Amino acid sequence: MSPDPHGDSEAVRRRERRASAVARTAARVASERSLPATLRALAHEILQTDGLAGVQVLTNLHPGEKLHMLGIAGFPASQSSDFFSRLMECQRLGADLRMLDVFHSGERVVIPHRYQAVMSNPAWGPLHEYHRHPEWDAFASVPIKVRQSTIGVLNAFVSPGKEIDEEGLEFLTAMAEQAGLAIDYASLLEQERSAAQREERQRLAQDLHDSVVQQVFSMGMLTQTLKVLGEDGRPESLDRIREITADLQDITGSVLKDLRGLVAQLRPSATSGTGLRHALRELEAATHRQTGVRFRTSIGGIADDVEGDFAEDLYHVIAEAVHNAVKHSSADLITVTLELDEAGTVQLCVRDNGSQPGSSVVPADPQEGHGLSFMRQRVTRWRGELTIESGRGGAGTAVRAEIPFRTLSFTDDEAPRTSERQDEDLYD
């Protein structure tokens, strides 16, 4: 039988499309700063190149975390936020989760006629609506690896009437390698930021030792001398006591000056001169790059009016609420509102759209967790009130704070202390 020229030419064109897709993705990995944008584009490249029904890219940026779906094509993006939570529910019901087998074993897998098996099995019930459209048939899952460690999976849902041959599987593997490069690149950027922070802390520690520690040692020696002279009781010792007291006063002033300088360098971006509004933009951008979570913000003019410790505390309350939403909920959208109402009260709300039962910043233990406790301390420090609304009507979790801004005329010494910031407050 003579070879089919049409079949050969189609195979050549398919190989060319795949090679072009890998090349375009590689170029994007090298230039794109947003990991979610890179992985979404990668998923669409695969979908369009091989005519698949759907593509998923799931990864955990840090070991032990849940898998985040940072790339998706074919399936509605709006249904991806709680995908992993629903997948875990399917596992509890007894579903055979082959993608998790791939994640743990690092071996790729292809399963024919998977659609009917999934849709007819009640154990897959929590994901039936997600998987129903578009219709697909076979399923393939390929590990995403970085330096021999599996950090995610690339899932391909094959359209009815099509199949994944060895060349198709190699294409998916090549695209998984590009996904691994993108994830590794994002991780290296975070490591560079952390290394810079460590170097800065080491420099500050050296400054602290060279100035403050030595001066405090001198204060200790002078204090011991005062103790001896005080027990002496001779009138001529009074002149020496006065001299030492003056020296202690000078050293104390110098120590306080040095500490104020060091504390100013340790302040987060919210109070470093760029302002609260800029710091919140950076928080949102960094969180989106790392997790794919979207933000909807409404930041009023109050963000430009607050400064110093108050701005810093507002920033950390928002940052902690965002961190908890990303870590504990299935949310893909976080809404941040900060405004000043007519009564002169700062109204802050951080709400996520996580709808999975149990997804909440509120710890299971009735005793508050460390992060939630510090959020409350930062708010009550300014005579405000923190409330948590969790899971009402499937609306996710909302962290709310009300702080009387117009009555913030008291000094730092009058304001309640938080154990985390007590040392700083002593030198403000």
Sorted by where each begins, the domain ranges of the chain are 12-191, 268-428
- What does DSSP assign to residue 398? E
Predicted local distance difference test score (pLDDT) of residue 221 = 78
Rounded average pLDDT over 400-422? 54
Going by C-alpha positions, the residue among 181, 188, 149 that lies closest to residue 25 is 181
Residue type, 417: R
Least confident of 173-182, 197-206, 259-268: 259-268
Top mean pLDDT of 105-114, 301-310, 357-366 is at: 105-114
Using the Cα atoms of residue 115, residue 116, residue 119 and residue 124 in order, give the sign of their dihedral: negative
Going by C-alpha positions, the residue among 162, 154, 164, 138 that lies closest to residue 25 is 154
Going by C-alpha positions, the residue among 295, 39, 7, 23 that lies closest to residue 185 is 39
Sequence-ordered list of residues with C-beta below 8 angstroms from that of 245, at least 6 positions apart, any chain: 226
Going by C-alpha positions, the residue among 371, 331, 332, 334 that lies closest to residue 349 is 334
Helix (H, G, I), strand (E, B) or coil at 357: coil
Helix (H, G, I), strand (E, B) or coil at 31: helix
Please determine, for residue 345, whether its predicted confidence score (pLDDT) is greater than 80. Answer: yes
- What does DSSP assign to residue 231? H
Rounded average pLDDT over 132-149? 93
Residues 61-84: pLDDT tens digits?
A: 666 677 888 899 999 876 677 788
Provide the pairing of β-strand 294-299 with 149-157. unpaired
CATH topology of domain 268-428: Heat Shock Protein 90 (3.30.565)
Rounded average pLDDT over 383-402? 83
Please determine, for residue 423, whether its predicted confidence score (pLDDT) is greater than 60. Answer: no
Exposure string of 345-354, with b = 16+ CB inside 10 Å and e = fewer, is: bbbbbbbbbb
Predicted local distance difference test score (pLDDT) of residue 67 = 86
Residue type, 160: P
Residues 84-109: pLDDT tens digits?
A: 888 999 999 999 999 999 999 999 99
Please determine, for residue 402, whether its predicted confidence score (pLDDT) is greater than 50. Answer: yes
- 144 close to 152: Cβ distance less than 8 angstroms: yes
- 361 close to 388: Cβ distance less than 8 angstroms: yes
Q: Which residue has 């306080």 as its token pair?
A: 256
Averaged pLDDT score across all residues of the chain: 80
As a whole-number percent, the residues of the chain with pLDDT over 90 amount to: 37
Predicted local distance difference test score (pLDDT) of residue 288 = 86
Please determine, for residue 156, whether its predicted confidence score (pLDDT) is greater than 90. Answer: yes
Predicted local distance difference test score (pLDDT) of residue 392 = 57
Strand ranges inside 271-332, DSSP E: 294-299
Predicted local distance difference test score (pLDDT) of residue 222 = 78
Q: Which residue has 């199949």 as its token pair?
A: 163
Q: How many CB atoms lie within 10 A of CB 312?
A: 22
Top pLDDT among 392 and 253 is at: 253
Q: Please tell me the distance from the alpha carbon of residue 78 to that of residue 352, in angstroms, as a whole number.
A: 14
Tokens of 255: 């120590």
Q: Please tell me the distance from the alpha carbon of residue 83 to that of residue 132, in angstroms, as a whole number.
A: 14
Least confident of 15-19, 88-92, 129-133: 15-19
Q: Please tell me the distance from the alpha carbon of residue 63 to that of residue 65, in angstroms, as a whole number.
A: 6
pTM of the model: 0.57
As a whole-number percent, the residues of the chain with pLDDT over 70 amount to: 78
Q: Please tell me the distance from the alpha carbon of residue 294 to that of residue 179, in angstroms, as a whole number.
A: 20
Predicted local distance difference test score (pLDDT) of residue 279 = 86
Predicted local distance difference test score (pLDDT) of residue 427 = 24
Architecture of the domain delimited by 12-191: 2-Layer Sandwich (3.30)
Top pLDDT among 58 and 200 is at: 58
CA distances from 16 to 9, 10, 28, 164, 230 (A): 11, 10, 18, 17, 92
- 299 close to 371: Cβ distance less than 8 angstroms: no
- 375 close to 320: Cβ distance less than 8 angstroms: yes
- 115 close to 20: Cβ distance less than 8 angstroms: no
Top pLDDT among 359 and 134 is at: 134
Tokens of 187: 């991780």
Rounded average pLDDT over 238-252? 81
Predicted local distance difference test score (pLDDT) of residue 361 = 42
Q: Which residue has 């509120």 as its token pair?
A: 362
Exposure string of 266-299, with b = 16+ CB inside 10 Å and e = fewer, is: ebebbbeeebbbebbbebbeebbbbbbbbbebee
From its phi and psi, is residue 23 left (phi > 0), alpha (psi between -120 and 50) or beta? alpha
Q: Please tell me the distance from the alpha carbon of residue 343 to that of residue 265, in angstroms, as a whole number.
A: 35
Top pLDDT among 285 and 270 is at: 285
Going by C-alpha positions, the residue among 316, 410, 304, 413 that lies closest to residue 370 is 316
